[in-house]
Structure 1
Amino acid sequence: MPKKGIQMPHTFVIIFGVVVLAALMTYLIPMGMFETEEVTYDNAGQEDTRTVLIPDTFEYETDEAGEPAREGVSLFEPFGGAGFLNYMFEGLVSGDKWGSAVGVVAFILIIGGAFGIIMRTKAIDQGILAVIDKTKGREALLIPVMFFFFSLGGAVFGMGEEAIAFAIILVPLVIALGYDAITGVMITYVATQIGFATSWMNPFGVAIAQGVSDVPVLSGTPFRMLMWAVFTGVGIAYTMWYASKVRRDPAKSYSPEANAYFKKHNNVQDINGKFTVGDSLVVITLALGIGWIIWGVVRDAYYIPEIATQFFTIGLVAGAIGVIFKLNDMTINDVAESFGEGAQQLLPAALVVGMAKGIVIILGGDDPAAASVLNTVLYAAGGLVDDMPEVLSASFILVFQSVINFFVVSGSGQAALTMPLIAPLADIAGVTRQVAVLGFQLGDGLTNMIVPTSAALMGTLGAARIGWGTWFRFIFKFQLLMFGLALVFVIVAVFINFS
């Protein structure tokens, strides 16, 4: 077991500390804004449009004396304003059903409720027992196979939030096989983010970044496919090394509390071992539902509203099967109660989404056309690129995008906000725009594995019963490994003039 040093603060405490820092920044840094324009680009034969900033139009908001204005955030604002103490509520109700925060909060709660129903049937537990029986002696194969497919999902269609649902299923399974909750998060969420970060065709990241940077969409595919293969291979090797260590000695696990929870609440020894017709129907419903989701995402670009409804439908059908076949003696009231209990279990993760959005609100929001501290920080950091040698400029883009991802976790949002500024500056620094896009996608995607402002990460950790502090202690070394590997690929891209 890891040494007990200084106890990591709770995720809520960490985010509150960042909110305090953001509030102080509003007193020290003047607000600025950009003009914006609509850009249209071809995305795999489909015309897409994004609103982006115009880099050379930055200007400060000025006060009555004509000086750059510093409008420090107030302690409290009535009538729907954004004061320091308003950050929680304003963060939770910000956005719309298509994204953070209110849409993602609803998504997390509905998924939690749907899987509360599914898990109440005990069909998944019966399935876990069957998998254990069928894979005796071959358990280790689960890790590379699952990691590969989840990474592929991240690369092909930007899989991320969906990992929350899969973690609910796979974490109890890997624990029953002798591994731990950390392993379950690695083969689900972390794998998707490696695929997302190194993708050659992800529509929510690299495609938008290339489009708004005036780089041919889906260009540079061979280099990125090689990069994906290398990163995925390293991820599989690291996960198998850790998992095998835990299986040999459970005391080596970083998540003993989560492991104990699942062993207590998903004890396969308490299951009768009879995989009935009802159990089969629940599992088939889940499999068909996941197929429906993948089809919708790939064919019609389904996103948060559609996927949430699809999972809700899966939960309802599973509940009906549970009642009809008396699985685990289920009644209609049990369906309703298990939905509430499942949503309650992911409530802390949903709250984190609102808190994280509150940070951006305190900084003035992420609209480039509205005066904000975030715009000034963005402009100042972007201006550093053209004063550096090529390799340093490319490396700085990677670091810069990694930092910005703490505040703007959305890949598409970050691409639209930063790439119109970074791309022309990369031209001045002698770095190709393709390299700039590479730095963006690696910085954006890889840090999703660690930033507590990521809704998908916190939802997955919530499903796995792992606190962010515990996760940080484990993932920190792997994050450094991934960043070092990303730096190597960015530098190689500079030397080969990747374009």
Structure 2
Amino acid sequence: MSTQSNPSPTAAPASRWQMPDTLILIFMVGILAAVLTYLVPAGSFQSQEVSYLADGVEKTRTVIDPASFAYATDESGALQYNRIVLFEGGGGVGLLNFPFEGLVSGSKWGSAIGVIMFMLVIGGAFGVVMRTGTIDNGILRLIDKTRGNEALFIPVMFTLFSLGGAVFGMGEEAVAFAIIILPLMIRLGYDGITTVMVTYVATQVGFAASWMNPFSVAIAQGVAGVPVLSGAGVRIPLWIGFTLVGIAFTMHYARKVKLDPTRSHSYHSDQAMRDQPMTTLANSRWNLGDSLVMLTVVATLVWVIWGVVANAWYIPEIASQFFTMGLVAGIIGVLFRLNQMTMNDVADAFKEGAGIMLPAALLVGCAKGILLLLGGGEPGEATVLNSLLNSSANAIGEMPEVLSAWLMLVFQSVFNFFVTSGSGQAALTMPLMAPLSDLVGVSRQVSVLAFQLGDGFTNVIVPTSASLMATLGVCRVDWGDWARFVWRFVLLLMALSSVAVILAELLDFQ
């Protein structure tokens, strides 16, 4: 007699909801943007030149005239809607071709095409450096020399990157550092998310709470008619406080990952790096070639930072310096036979390094396409984005003082999804927010603070931030995994920012 056992109900595989891929999320936002074009009429502003003093030098900038907004109308006087269709030919933007239009938009100076090429070039250059094996061997020696003090890496690096964001608006430069620091973090028992926190996120904490950032604070204060770089007595303590909060949050997470690697939000994506054969200090190599490669990398990083600070280098110049670094490192690797490298290995390493950046590059282009669906960021063109900007400003102006100050922070945070450039957002929003603050009794200095905090902190989560997506790309962290981790940190930052803005208004921060 045979018995047949019934399978246990628990044996059936449980269905588990998964976060949609980032590309799917971006396409869903694109559909929402297309729907808005049917509901919101297009409007435009006129532009005007404003002058302000920065470091004793008079500078000018083109900004919108807040009193010039007007809805576009057709010949009969009816409101004009820039309705998005499924496909638009002749170089136009439609729902099914916004990814392509986003990918090819812009110039070599910025998003999207400039940022994409920047990502591919530095990815390839560091691919060559990593192929030499010098970085891995150098990390082994660094860990050996600092044994027992590994916990200091996180606060020291977070502070340095936060300082870079505060002083000279460091952002895109963090991508290169993340490539180098990721293997160190994995060796120390941390993960890719910890790497993103101590590099890119740290720069944005500094960027948001800066007292002297020339790309956000100086421009916003100049446009608002506030003395440039004033208010440092409040902003420096804010920077210290937010940096300490960032360090504490990162160390708390990193400690959990070190005790149990499976608690990492990027555990699966870090697996490939963990699976790589780990060289031990006993059998590692270090010779003259390694010293020259390391010297090349360090010299390039110092040279790029100097160029950014002293000569305002941006994407084209920075990309060229890193390409040169990869070329020199490749030649050294071939001459000294590092990892038995040949010239063909140099080419392969460059292509592999650039290939790692392709998924993030696609996201950057598609995210830019969302802005194009709303008409782009030009104030002089009739777009849905301009209408949303004007309507938001009018709604804020009807609120009490303290609530208006807080709503400015909320507005800047939301608007940053569409315009992630600090200087671009300042030029679009501050001409509206500054006179609006006068009408509702909010200090203009407070309106600048609301801009700073709203613009900077949301950069750590919005998928439209090219620098964020590039850093996630080099650390091989999916945006969905990143969002599941970082939303708590963003809420914490926004809560503290709300307190800061409200207190600044109550204490009449001038």
Tell me the TM-score range normalised by the shorter chain.
over 0.9
2:10 maps to what in 1? none
What does residue range 25-424 of structure 1 map to in structure 2 within 5 Å?
25-265=36-276, 267-269=278-280, 272-424=283-435
Task: Quote the offset at 1:47 in angstroms.
Answer: 3.1
User: Could you tell me how far apart the structure 2 residues matched to 1:186 and 1:425 are?
Assistant: 35
2:454 maps to what in 1? 443
Contact map agreement 1:36 1:54 (CA 8 A) in 2: yes
2:35 maps to what in 1? 24
What does residue range 423-462 of structure 1 map to in structure 2 within 5 Å?
423-462=434-473
- Supply the AA of the counterpart residue of 2:269: A
User: Could you tell me how far apart the structure 1 residues matched to 2:276 and 2:394 are?
Assistant: 54
User: Could you tell me how far apart the structure 2 residues matched to 1:267 and 1:421 are?
Assistant: 56
2:481 maps to what in 1? 470
Stretches of structure 2 that go unaligned for 5 or more consecutive residues are 1-13
Task: Quote the offset at 1:266 in angstroms.
Answer: 6.3
User: Could you tell me how far apart the structure 1 residues matched to 2:365 and 2:278 are?
Assistant: 34
Count of aligned positions? 497
- Supply the AA of the counterpart residue of 1:99: G
- Supply the AA of the counterpart residue of 1:489: A
User: Could you tell me how far apart the structure 1 residues matched to 2:428 and 2:243 are?
Assistant: 28
**TM-score, normalising length: structure 2:** 0.95
**TM-score, normalising length: structure 1:** 0.97
Structure number with bigger Rg: 2
Contact map agreement 1:125 1:266 (CA 8 A) in 2: no
Task: Quote the offset at 1:5 in angstroms.
Answer: 5.5
Contact map agreement 1:125 1:271 (CA 8 A) in 2: no
Query: What SS does the corresponding residue of 2:397 show, helix, strand or coil?
Result: helix
User: Could you tell me how far apart the structure 1 residues matched to 2:59 and 2:33 are?
Assistant: 34
2:4 maps to what in 1? none
Query: What SS does the corresponding residue of 2:147 show, helix, strand or coil?
Result: coil
Deviations 1:8-63 (A, max 9, x none): 11111111111111111111110000111122222222333221110111100012
Query: What SS does the corresponding residue of 1:132 show, helix, strand or coil?
Result: helix
Task: Quote the offset at 1:462 in angstroms.
Answer: 0.7
Contact map agreement 2:123 2:357 (CA 8 A) in 1: yes
User: Could you tell me how far apart the structure 2 residues matched to 1:399 and 1:6 are?
Assistant: 30
Query: What SS does the corresponding residue of 1:78 show, helix, strand or coil?
Result: coil
**Aligned-residue CA RMSD in angstroms?**
1.4
User: Could you tell me how far apart the structure 2 residues matched to 1:446 and 1:205 are?
Assistant: 13
- Supply the AA of the counterpart residue of 1:70: Y
Contact map agreement 2:202 2:243 (CA 8 A) in 1: yes
- Supply the AA of the counterpart residue of 2:47: T
Task: Quote the offset at 1:4 in angstroms.
Answer: 9.7
User: Could you tell me how far apart the structure 1 residues matched to 2:299 and 2:82 are?
Assistant: 53
User: Could you tell me how far apart the structure 2 residues matched to 1:427 and 1:363 are?
Assistant: 29
User: Could you tell me how far apart the structure 2 residues matched to 1:298 and 1:279 are?
Assistant: 29
Contact map agreement 1:37 1:51 (CA 8 A) in 2: yes
Aligned-residue identity in percent: 60
Task: Quote the offset at 1:264 in angstroms.
Answer: 1.9
User: Could you tell me how far apart the structure 1 residues matched to 2:205 and 2:118 are?
Assistant: 23
Query: What SS does the corresponding residue of 1:367 show, helix, strand or coil?
Result: coil
Deviations 1:114-156 (A, max 9, x none): 1111111110011111112112111101000000000000000
Stretches of structure 1 that go unaligned for 5 or more consecutive residues are none
Deviations 1:264-317 (A, max 9, x none): 236334993122111111111111110001111111111111111111111111
User: Could you tell me how far apart the structure 2 residues matched to 1:49 and 1:475 are?
Assistant: 37
User: Could you tell me how far apart the structure 2 residues matched to 1:266 and 1:396 are?
Assistant: 52
